[in-house]
Chains A and B, each alone.
Chain A
Amino acid sequence: MAGRPAKLTLNTEEDRALIRDVLQGRASAWTVFAERIADTLWTAARLLTPDDIEARTAFGEIIDGLRVDGFRRLRAYDGSSRIETFTALVARDLLAERLMRRLRQDPPAVAWNAFERFFQSDITRLIARRLPGPDHEQSRQDAYQDICLALLADDCRRLRQYKGIGSFGGFVLHVIDRLLVDFIRSTWPRRRRSETAAPEELDGLASDAPSPEAAILAQEEEQSLAVAAEVLRRAADTLSAAERLYLSIALGGGAPIPAREVARLMSRPVAEIYKLRQRVLSRLYEALDKHPAIKKWRATV
């Protein structure tokens, strides 16, 4: 992964002064600002659009978007990040809003082409996180196709359900992740049954029905998952904000998430992440022991 430092030593006094000058319309402030961010915005436009021509149009629209309403977007800048980080994310927001308009206005094929280019790396990243490793290569390709078909279905019905709460990008990413979970849920029970089935059932003549032993096992697994999900929900209400965030991040992947990656995402030292892990695990065990199903199970053992 390309290296952005986990923690920057921020000195943004000059950045704040520059944004302030732009907002106040001081002479040459815009020129200085534009020269400073032009490469970042151009790179962002190239990454999020299908080709060079489209990127040029997108670049112009980003500039217009920054200037609209007296630089309204820039007013949120408070010096707690670098100008480049802030403007790159603002550019991404602006292009996501543009994409939303195109989905409503452009012919479906054109709009989909733009949509797929915008979210392609995110879809791939989410799939790789939930279905990691070389064993899942074919599954990842299937999942990609499955997700795209689901998004395209009924004239992009799922995407049109966005009601303006939160960002469009966050909404789309969450929809993609949930489609991916659906894909995994619909795919894996079948494969697990086939893995546990007797050899004579694998010759293509057997039905899909599991053996009685496999059915009991599957039922127990379903029960365990249901209890685990409920315990997670109950425990989450007792966690601190940082602990809950840690748990949400940990739940986001099928592959183990290295502590240093979590530390970077949560903007904390790695040692603190290990402490969070211990605390969250203790809370989950506490909630598990209090769960009625577990109490009942203990009484029968």
Chain B
Amino acid sequence: MSRERIQSLFQQILDDETRRDAPQAADLARLSAALDGQPATIPETTTARLAAMLDGGLDDGARRDMDDHLGRSPELLQELRAAQAFLDAVDAGRSAAPPELLASTQDNDRRATKAPRPRKLFWTWSAAAFAMALAALAAVIVVTRPLPPTPTTLPPEARTAPPQAGAPSAMLPAGDETVVPAPRPGKIELAPEGPDVMPRALTSPAPP
């Protein structure tokens, strides 16, 4: 082992012109694992950042961040290189999409499968709960409100007392008399009673 030999190895690594022979290439391949570390946690926006890196659209701060990620993650560096090669291939082999495929993207039936956003979901359920509470409150009010007198709740004397001339019938709702429909002219016919409308035991006995 000598210092010169290792210096020579480092120069080979960084050299950008001299062709290497097979043993040199093998040595460098073996050294390439030296910087391997733990896989970096890669954020969701990586694809956007890789695209920006390759299009030269990162500002200085974002580029420093990407340099750091790429220098520490061999996977991400492989991804950058693969992305560059892939984009070159797309540019070189660009072909027009078949018209029927393009048309299929415009199909209104293929709508986005949009998941409800949590905030919207919260308000939806809140509104539903509020409506149910309101309905329950209304039901309580209706049930507990004193009912207007009916023939069955009136005292017997009131039920049997003849109506006063001009006074409204106790059986009619309050309001104008015109709301009471007049009987239709002509013969009133009862709907035929079918055998299974009501159990026979509960029907009135048939006339002799």
Complex alpha-carbon distance, A54 and B142, angstroms: 65
Which residues of chain B have C-beta atoms less than 8 A from A35's C-beta? 102
The answer to whether B20 and A90 touch across the interface, beta carbons within 8 angstroms, is no
Q: Does A137 contact B (CB under 8 A)?
A: no
Chief secondary structure at chain A's binding surface = helix
Q: Which of B7, B52, B110 contacts A285 (CB 8 A)?
A: B7
Q: Which of A167, A170, A232, A258 contacts B16 (CB 8 A)?
A: A258
The answer to whether A184 and B95 touch across the interface, beta carbons within 8 angstroms, is no
- Produce 1/0 per residue, B68-93, CB < 8 A to A: 10111111111111111111111111
Closest residue of chain B to A130 (Cβ to Cβ) is B29
Q: Which of A71, A135, A245 contacts B67 (CB 8 A)?
A: A245
Q: Does A63 contact B (CB under 8 A)?
A: yes
Q: Does A102 contact B (CB under 8 A)?
A: no
Closest residue of chain B to A135 (Cβ to Cβ) is B22
Q: Does B182 contact A (CB under 8 A)?
A: no
Q: Which of A69, A121, A167, A267 contacts B113 (CB 8 A)?
A: A69
Chief secondary structure at chain B's binding surface = helix
The answer to whether B1 and A223 touch across the interface, beta carbons within 8 angstroms, is yes
Known A-B contacts A46-B93, A135-B22; the reply to A288 vs B10 at CB < 8 A is yes
The answer to whether B31 and A81 touch across the interface, beta carbons within 8 angstroms, is no
| Closest Cβ–Cβ distance, residue A73 to chain B (whole Å) | 8
Q: Which of A76, A85, A223, A289 contacts B55 (CB 8 A)?
A: A85
Q: Which of A70, A81, A187 contacts B54 (CB 8 A)?
A: A81
The answer to whether B48 and A77 touch across the interface, beta carbons within 8 angstroms, is yes
The answer to whether A178 and B87 touch across the interface, beta carbons within 8 angstroms, is no
The answer to whether A69 and B114 touch across the interface, beta carbons within 8 angstroms, is yes
The answer to whether A267 and B89 touch across the interface, beta carbons within 8 angstroms, is no
Q: Does A153 contact B (CB under 8 A)?
A: no
Q: Interface stretch among B58-66, B121-129, B143-151, B185-193?
A: B58-66
Instruction: Tell me the B residues contacting A by CB distance below 8 Å.
Output: 1-3, 5-7, 9-11, 13-20, 22-35, 39-42, 44-48, 50-58, 62-64, 67-68, 70-98, 101-102, 104-106, 110-115, 117
* Further 17 A-B residue pairs, CB within 8 A, beyond A133-B19, A247-B71: A2-B88, A10-B56, A31-B106, A40-B90, A63-B104, A71-B112, A85-B87, A122-B82, A185-B29, A228-B10, A232-B34, A244-B35, A247-B35, A248-B71, A250-B14, A252-B32, A254-B26
Instruction: Tell me the A residues contacting B by CB distance below 8 Å.
Output: 1-4, 6-8, 10, 12, 30-31, 34-35, 38-44, 46-47, 56, 59-60, 63-64, 67-71, 76-82, 85-86, 88-90, 92-93, 121-122, 125, 130-133, 135-136, 139, 165-167, 169-171, 173-174, 177-178, 180-181, 184-185, 187-189, 191-192, 220-221, 223-225, 227-233, 236, 239-242, 244-245, 247-259, 262, 264-267, 277, 280-281, 284-285, 288-289, 293-294, 297-298
